[in-house]
Amino acid sequence: MKRFLAALIFCAFTTPVFILSADIAQAQVGMASYYKSGRKTANGEKFNPNGYTAAHRSLKFGTKVRVTNLRNGRSVIVRINDRGPFIRGRIIDLAFGAAKAVGLHNSGVAKVRVAVLQ
């Protein structure tokens, strides 16, 4: 049985968030954007612009990650099903539905934390 340490993180404008140490160890911080057009994803499935999916350059298809908008503290769990983003400096592209959930659909880009869930 694995043992996990946990951290309690307090943000100025949000409620406390309970994060497993496994999430912290595998987290990336960088810029995210969103996309809402396309026919098929890189893994061959039909693209759903309102879905909770994302594109990442190197994570395996089917990997679930928690994406947290660092500006407002909102987070969403998405499944990696596509490749990208292809713009330098960005670490993940969210489908429009996931972007709305974390509040980056108006700005178009936001600084996020991407934590792989196990």
Give a yes or no: residue 103 inside a domain.
yes
> Residue 99 maps to which CATH number?
2.40.40.10
Q: What pTM, to 2 d.p., does this model score? A: 0.77
Give a yes or no: residue 46 inside a domain.
yes
Question: What's the rounded mean pLDDT across residues 100-110?
Answer: 94
Q: In angstroms, rounded to a whole number, what is the distance separating the alpha carbons of residues 99 and 77?
A: 11
Sorted by sequence, the CB contacts under 8 Å of residue 29 that are 6+ apart come out as: 70, 91, 111, 112, 113, 114
Give a yes or no: residue 5 inside a domain.
no
Structure tokens at 70: 């660092």
Give a yes or no: residue 20 inside a domain.
no
Express each pLDDT in 16-58 by its tens digit.
Answer: 444 454 445 579 999 999 999 889 999 999 999 999 999 999 9
DSSP 94-117: EEHHHHHHHT-TTTSEEEEEEEE-
Give a yes or no: residue 2 inside a domain.
no
- On the question of a cis peptide bond just before residue 85, with omega within 30 degrees of 0, the verdict is yes
Average pLDDT, the chain: 84
Domain of residue 100, residue span: 26-116
Question: What's the rounded mean pLDDT across residues 73-94?
Answer: 96
